[in-house]
Homo-oligomer: A and B are copies of this chain.
Amino acid sequence: MELVEIRELYRNKESYIGKKIKVGGWVRSIRDSKTFGFVVMNDGTYFETLQIVYHDTLDNFNVISKLNVGSAIIVTGELVATPQAKQPFEIQAEEVMVEGASTADYPLQKKRHTLEYLRTITHLRARTNTFQAVFRVRSLVAYAIHKYFQDRDFVYVHTPIITGSDAEGAGEMFRVTTLDMENLPRTEDGKVDTTQDFFGKETNLTVSGQLNGETYAMAFKNIYTFGPTFRAENSNTTRHAAEFWMIEPEIAFADLKDDMALAEGMLKYIINYVLEHAPEEMKFFNQFIDQGLLERLQIVANSDFGHVTYTQAIELLEKNNDNFDYKVTWGCDLQTEHERYLTEQVFKKPVFVTDYPKDIKAFYMKLNEDNKTVAAMDLLVPGIGEIIGGSQREDDYDKLVKRMEEMDLKKEDYEFYLDLRKYGTARHAGFGLGFERCVMYLTGMGNIRDVVPFPRTVNNCEL
């Protein structure tokens, strides 16, 4: 007899009630009296559990009653409707087979464990309610993102992880090498001989796939990346990890307005997708992790996002300068307190801030006609601040070269990128969404370590 998944039982209960079925899963709790007992089991396919009733008519009645939490069992019996009870049905067990026992010192007992404690057992924490919910939602969000872009015929591009260009922020990159560090080869002048390294030169882990992505947008019109990126920042906060996943769409024959429409559509799509596909998990987050989460997400899914230029935003913020730790003036970068004030107090919904001063933005952003600002956008959302950052790209060869010179970037490091402006350049735009930040936003989880299966942070690289 084939095993039935608990998700399938809940989804199509009419097909199973009154029938003999077989299920396999792990024991969450056991209560027993002299002649019968209850096992609550979860098989990982569904957030809800399944109750099993067993009686002393079973040969191994005593073995079952003494099982430790976490044991794996396979149960055969009739699925019976329980209209009086909280759960819709239960199994009347005819057989309970022990697939794998657990021990009395199983690290996940039936009590509340702190998130800090659970971080010390990343190989087991996915068995708890909270992390079942987090990591199923993480999986669904990843798929929703793929589905959003694929339904629109975007081409998914795997941009490289190991990169030979150390052009941007080399100081914060991880070096990748096969050289024997105890015995480094040296050149005549005593430097490390990188020509002997695997790739014949110095290589690092990527910080962004954007520039590579642009080359594909100029071939396929609409593309997106979705892959791991890395920052070797020595910052120990609840929002930074050294390894995280990023989504970077890039669209050609498109400007900043198209870019914002794409971002708004994507975010609404993801929210609706998880609300539809993980209602139990989302209810759990709303109840135990972040009260108000569902209401906040509903507002985002149903409102037209606001739009404000950076210059207008500064005017709005200056009126409130007394209440900010960092006072704003035109030309400064926005802090989280400013972003949250704009989206939560002023607009009370998600808002795009556009046209930032060129001096606080990257070299590749398109210069506006005022010569002072660039066609950049940040999307700010209630509860978190910035969640997406993007821009129209400078598609004019001469302007791009000039900007690179102003910012002391070497032209020879960007020949491939300049080629795109030489051979059939076209207006284009894109944005970046930090995947973990998105999952935090959708679940209400407050620490990035709790939305990554095996988090990598300073001094922490377990498993």
Contact = CB atoms under 8 A, between A and B. Distances in A.
Query: How many copies of this chain sit in the oligomeric assembly?
Result: 2
B72 A7 contact: no
A63 interface: no
A445 interface: no
Contact of A164 (B99, B221, B461): B461
Given A182-B192, A198-B174, A242-B198, A124 B220 contact: no
B124 A419 contact: yes
Contacts of A424: 26-27, 70-72, 99-102, 106
Interface residues of A, number: 107
A286 interface: no
B162 A124 contact: no
A159 interface: yes
A45 interface: yes
A463 B164 contact: yes
Interface in A13-40: 24-27
A169 interface: no
Nearest to A137: B155
21 contacts: A7-B153, A26-B426, A44-B155, A44-B220, A44-B252, A45-B153, A70-B423, A99-B426, A100-B421, A102-B424, A123-B212, A123-B416, A123-B417, A124-B423, A142-B146, A159-B453, A160-B456, A161-B230, A165-B463, A181-B192, A215-B463
Contacts of A222: 44-45
Nearest to A46: B153
A422 B456 contact: no
Contacts of A102: 422-424
Contact of A456 (B132, B199, B425): B199
Nearest to A205: B176
Nearest to A417: B123
